[in-house]
Amino acid sequence: MPRKPLIAANWKMYKTPAQAQEFMKNFLPLVANHHRDEIVVCPSFTSISVVIAAATGSGVAIGAQNMHFADEGAYTGETSPLMLKAIGATHVILGHSERRQYFAENDELINKKLKSALHHALIPIVCVGEVLAEREAGKTEQVLLRQTRGVLAGIAASAAAPIVIAYEPVWAIGTGKTATPQIAAEAHAVIRNEVNKLLGAEIAANLRILYGGSVKPDNATALMAETEIDGALVGGASLDPQSFAKIVNY
């Protein structure tokens, strides 16, 4: 069975609830008849509820950009998987490079969050990717292997089916520099090959690997034409309903 592509919007720390609602009002009609891809919108926590309400009946799924691994506890400022489930979120982005860079998240923590998301039946979109210095030093493959092994440590093949991985070369995020479809496809093959070793052929064959990093309406078609690329995680270009709809309708 071919892998169903997944196109996810990562709004980062943008949009008030009113702005999020306005986006949905304009975006949903543009994708009303779209069934080819799974569409996911990930607003900041304060807008998740309004966006879920707006998306009711539309087929667009709503996710969070982060979560804590614990169900509850004395973790000031954090949000738990139970809380996300309770308001109807279905997906969660984990280990985004901005979380790694600015909030000191590492593979070990991301691994705990991934196990928790699977336990709570949230579909995890787990991010990996090298920084520019690592690419220039020829270490891309080494970094991808280390991150893939680290985030998947101790996860059984029987639990792994929902996992989505996003390859996001850090040098391409928000910079306007997109990885060429070939660069992305090579990195995806490294990840899929490692998942094959860790979790077996069936999980690897069905694993969706998204590309993220300056995906725009004008490069989405070329990226999505690569058989190794199973969707996109879109930051900047997902903030505008027309632009995100163009990407979804590549």
Instruction: Please state the closest distance from residue 171 (CB atom) to ligand PGA, in A.
Output: 10
The mark string for 23-52 relative to ligand PGA (x by CB under 6 A, - otherwise) is ------------------------------
Among 188, 235, 245, 250, indicate the residue that binds ligand PGA (CB under 6 A): 235
Least spacing, CB of residue 71 vs ligand PGA, in Å: 27
Q: Which amino acid is at 23?
A: F
Query: Looking at 5, 81, 231, 236, which residue binds ligand PGA (CB under 6 A)?
Result: 236
Is residue 10 involved in binding ligand PGA (CB under 6 A)?
yes
Q: Binding segment for ligand PGA among 63-71, 135-143, 220-228, 233-241 (CB under 6 A)? A: 233-241
Q: How far apart are CA 142 and CA 123, in angstroms?
A: 26
**Which residues are paired to 143 by β-bridges?**
none
DSSP letter at 90 equals: -
215 binds ligand PGA (CB under 6 A): yes
Q: How many of the other CB atoms lie within 10 Å of CB of 107?
A: 20
Q: Does the annotation count 96 as an active-site position?
A: yes
Q: Residue 114 or 203: which CB sits closer to ligand PGA?
A: 114
By three-state DSSP, how is residue 234 classified?
Answer: strand
* 100-to-7, 49, 103, 195 alpha-carbon distances in Å: 22, 26, 6, 22
The tokens describing 240, both together, are 């505008």
Residues 171-210, mask of contacts with ligand PGA (x by CB under 6 A):
--xx------------------------------------
Contact 111, 151 (CB under 8 A): yes
Tell me whether residue 68 is one of the annotated catalytic residues: no
Is 233 a residue that touches ligand PGA (CB under 6 A)?
yes
Q: Which residue number, 203 or 237, has a Cβ lying nearer to ligand PGA? A: 237
The DSSP-derived string for 27-70 is HGGGGTT--SSEEEEE--HHHHHHHHHHHTTSS-EEEES---SS
Residues labelled as active-site residues:
96, 168
Question: Which residues contribute to the site for ligand PGA (CB under 6 A)?
Answer: 10, 168, 173-174, 212-215, 233-237
